Structures are given as structure tokens and as C-alpha cells.
Amino acid sequence: MDLADLTRDLDTLRDETLAAVAAAPDAAALDALELDVLGKKGRLTGILRGIGALAPEDRPKVGAIANVVRVKLETALAERGTTLRGGELTARLAAEAVDVTLPGRPLRRGSLHPSIEAMSEIAAIFEQFGFVTYESPEIEDDVTNFQMLNIPPDHPARDLWDTLYVDVEGRLLRTHTSPGQIHVMRTETPPIRALLPGRCYRYESIDASHASEFFQVEGLMVDEGTTMADLKGLLDQFAKAMFGSDKRTRFRPGYYPFTEPSVAFDVECLVCGGGGCPACGRTGWMTILGAGMVHPVVLQYGGLDPERYQGFAFGMGPERIKMLKHGITDLRLFLDDDLRFLEQFR
């Protein structure tokens, strides 16, 4: 190993490193290259170890050449580094750029549940006839839910309202909104035009037409001289507003303990228009609600004199109204909270 050897090695290291610097694809490669050549255990240090074997007068010469090579390589590495890092930044800026001209992500718009929507639609119609909407508690007492509606404890009609009881003696989940009408009669003086939409509960096995939790909309009108003809005219107007002004309606005899006489109220079948089809059981008619003249005993329980006042009441299931309107055959769809169903009512 003499001066010429070391000088040649340094030249080789310089040329190879400069070529590698030029070829480095990214900053990481450049860092590795710098460590390999100029690092403490790098190739330059390796070459300089050979200095000890040289004649003393040659040593400074190699040191001077080595310094020139080191500075040259450091400069090349730094320049290439600037280029690469600058390029990387530019590339990152381009890749991560926010396009402020893009439209925003739309928020999902909520909508009313079809049961709730049906209750609003029903209320909107009766409000045009001067009915006022009331609210009433879902937990009731046995007396208001049954006795005051002419359903005594041993009455067979109690079986119509399989009841869910609360852990407090005499308290239950209302099986209909009718107890709310009792409250209205006891707090208001006639003329009364009350609408009571709300949640009701029954101990039921659930099938396509029964649920243990459901909505009801009840109406009550009490005044002097209120007759069945008023009831019939009002319900006919309701059906025409809800299902179409060309729809015919009819009363059929019915039974409820709290009304006398009681009726079932039908609208001509929306599917066949009265001709008879599977949707209406081939009768041409669909029952949309039950109604009747308020039983005198119930008026009395409501604190009203049946000699002076007469009243009618009606009750309907908002889900049933929607089902008839849209040809839905399974009540459970209203309970499943499946967006594929619910979103169709937007």
C-alpha cells in the first residue's frame, strides 16, 4: 500500500459515490449511502486507515486529498438531498391536497317514522274540524282504563284488552287512549272536540296484525244535541281527505262497551274500488276504524250530565291507516326499524 494506491482508492470512492448519489431514488437511500461512505465505520475511514503504512512525508498529501473528497461528497449528498426532499414534499403536497372545490359529504336527512307521520296526518285533518290534540299518561290506573269506560272487573269484554300491569298496585300500561278522553271530559266543559294520539300496550302474541306496543288515535266530541249523523258526516269527510274525495264510506253495526250504539266504519276498497278482491276479503270494503255514541254511563264518569250532553267517539290505529293506504300487509314492519322500509316514507 503506497501513496498511489491510496490516491486511486480515494478517486474510486469519489467516483462511485458520486454516481450512487446521482442514482439515489429517495432520501432514505441517500441517508444509507452517506452512512456507508462517510460514517464512522464507513469506506472513507477504511481507506484512511492505510495512512499509517505510508512514509511520513506522504501522509499529509493523502490527508489533503481525502479532505477534498470528503467535502466534495458532502456537498453532493447535501445537494441531492435537497432535490430529493424537495421532490418528496412536492409529491406529498400533490397527493394530500384538499380539493376545496369538491362538494361536501351530504348529511343523512332524518324523517318521521310512518306511525308518527300517520298520526300527524290524521291530526291535521281533524284539526280542520276544530279538534284539539291532547296528551295523556301511558301509565294509568285500573279504574280510568276500564271501570270508567264501562268495563267492570268481571266483564267478559275485558278479555279484549289483555293487559300489561306495572309493579304498583292498581296501575297498568294503558290498553287504549280512552282513559285520556276521560281526563279531557273531567277537565274541559263542552263543547269538546278532543283528539288523543298516543302509544298503547297490550299483552299480545305478536303476528302480522298484532303488536304489544302500538299507537292509537282517538277522537271525542261532546256537545248538546250531538248525534250519530254528526259522527257519520265527520268520518265520511275524514275518509275522503285521507283516501280520496271519490271514496264512498259506510257504517256497520259494531260493539264496544263504552259506546252505544257502536259501529265499524268502512271505506270502499282502495285496491278494487268496491268490486271485491283479495285485499278486502272480496267484500269491496275495508274497515278503517271503530266508533259510536258515548255510553251515558261513560259521560257520567267523565263528570258530564247525559241528559244535557251527547257525544261520539272513535278510535283508529295509525299503522292500519298507512297499511291500507300503501298496501302493506304486515304490521311488524312498523316495529322492526328497518331503514329499507322506513326510507320509503320520506
Give the binding site for ligand 2NL (CB under 6 A). Answer: 178, 181-182, 216, 218, 220, 256, 258-259, 289-292, 294, 298, 313-317
269/294 with CB nearer ligand 2NL: 294
> At closest approach, how far in Å is the CB of 176 from ligand 2NL?
7
> At closest approach, how far in Å is the CB of 208 from ligand 2NL?
17
CA 167 – CA 324 distance, rounded (Å): 37
CB count within 10 Å of CB 133 equals 17
> At closest approach, how far in Å is the CB of 179 from ligand 2NL?
8
Confirm if 251 and 259 have CB atoms less than 8 A apart. no
Q: What are the beta bridge partners of residue 311?
A: 222
33/221 with CB nearer ligand 2NL: 221
21/293 with CB nearer ligand 2NL: 293
> At closest approach, how far in Å is the CB of 231 from ligand 2NL?
10
Query: What cell was used for 163?
Result: 293487559
Buried b (16+ CB within 10 A) or exposed e, 282-308: eebbbbbbbbbbbbbbbbebbebeeee
CA 61 – CA 67 distance, rounded (Å): 10
Q: What are the beta bridge partners of residue 220?
A: 194, 313
Residue closest to ligand 2NL, measured at CB: 315
7/283 with CB nearer ligand 2NL: 283
249/259 with CB nearer ligand 2NL: 259
286/313 with CB nearer ligand 2NL: 313
Residues whose CB falls within 8 Å of the CB of residue 264, separated by 6 or more in sequence, listed in order: 251, 252, 253, 254, 287, 289, 290
> At closest approach, how far in Å is the CB of 214 from ligand 2NL?
9
Q: How far is CA 22 from CA 11, 42, 70, 144, 254, in A?
A: 17, 19, 16, 94, 97
> At closest approach, how far in Å is the CB of 191 from ligand 2NL?
16
